[in-house]
Amino acid sequence: MRPIRNIVILTGAGISAESGIDTFRGGGGLWERHRVEDVATPEAFARDPDLVLRFYDMRRAAIQTRAPNPAHDALARLDHQWSGDLLIVTQNVDDLHERAGARRVLHMHGQHLSAWCTACDTRSPWRETLIDRPPCPACGKRTLRPDVVWFGEMPYEMERIYGALRSADLFVSIGTSGAVYPAAGFVRDARQLGAATLELNLERSQGSAWFHETRLGPAGELVPEWVDEVLASQ
């Protein structure tokens, strides 16, 4: 394995689970209570916008009552102290990485605290509800939608992500089930490009076989341990 200089970290819902934010799959996950087809596709939004807006209004309100946990704190510490390239690619739409202090964060599935105007294509910071059809701050039209990536839509910043994967020496995946593409394919891409690959998860994921190493346990414990380790190797 080559020396570690450039790190790409992929995070999923599992890193925010200990902050009290629901994961999607598995027991108690969001998809147990809401059908994906009803709330997380553009077709669902066209068919029943009130249902979709209420689902996201509820989650946008909830994340604002939650706080980062030791896993977010540890990644923020790594971001500040790692002298090489580092990119935290999160599938999460919460803002807990940023609230922990991380700066090199990219939200490939969008963000709860942003609204996207489908009329003028402006994205605006947003904390309130959308169900009441507020006007877009830029154009005034009542055409705002959650700024999140639904099934069938293109995730954000793919070129930047693949650029980072191409130069990564280490790819680390934290708390994601490996069920959703293209994120689920990053481990294979990174490995084929020569990076070392490490998975930190509560249990084995659909992608576990692709990783050089998998460590099992809660992110709040595993991530601070791994960050100490990687900073000591610097």
Binding site for ligand BJW (CB under 6 A): 12-14, 17-18, 23-25, 29, 40, 91, 93, 109, 148-155, 158, 175-177, 179-182, 201-203, 205, 218-219
In whole angstroms, the minimum distance from the beta carbon of 222 to ligand BJW comes to 7
Nearer to ligand BJW, 135 or 151 (CB): 151
C-beta closer to ligand BJW: residue 169 or 227: 227
Q: Which residue is listed with tokens 């190797």? A: 233
Residue number with CB closer to ligand BJW (206 or 234) = 206
Amino acid letter at 164? A
Q: What 3-state class would DSSP assign to 194? A: coil
Please state the closest distance from residue 159 (CB atom) to ligand BJW, in A: 10
Place of tokens 């190493």: 213
**Complex with ligand BJW: residue 169 or 224, whichever CB lies closer:** 224
Instruction: State the minimum distance, in angstroms, from the CB of residue 3 to ligand BJW.
Output: 28
Vertex 60 angle, CA 133 and 181, to 5°: 105
Please identify the residue of the shown chain whose CB is closest to the bound ligand BJW.
Answer: 14
Question: Is 1 or 46 the residue whose CB approaches ligand BJW more closely?
Answer: 46
CB-based contact 35:193 (threshold 8 Å)? no
| Nearest distance in Å: CB 207, ligand BJW | 9
- Residue 66 is given by DSSP the state -
Which amino acid would we find at residue 116? Answer: W
The DSSP-derived string for 121-181 is: --EEE--S-STT-PPPTTT--S-EEEEEPPTTSPPTTHHHHHHHHHT-SEEEEES--S-ST
Whole-angstrom CA distances from 147 to 111, 118, 163 are 6, 10, 24
Cα–Cα dist 26/40, whole Å: 17
Catalytic residue among 34, 109, 112, 212: 109
Taking the C-alpha atoms of residue 122 and residue 234, their distance in angstroms, rounded to an integer, is 41
CB of 111 to ligand BJW, least distance (A): 9
- Is 97 catalytic? The answer is no
Active centre residues (catalytic): 109
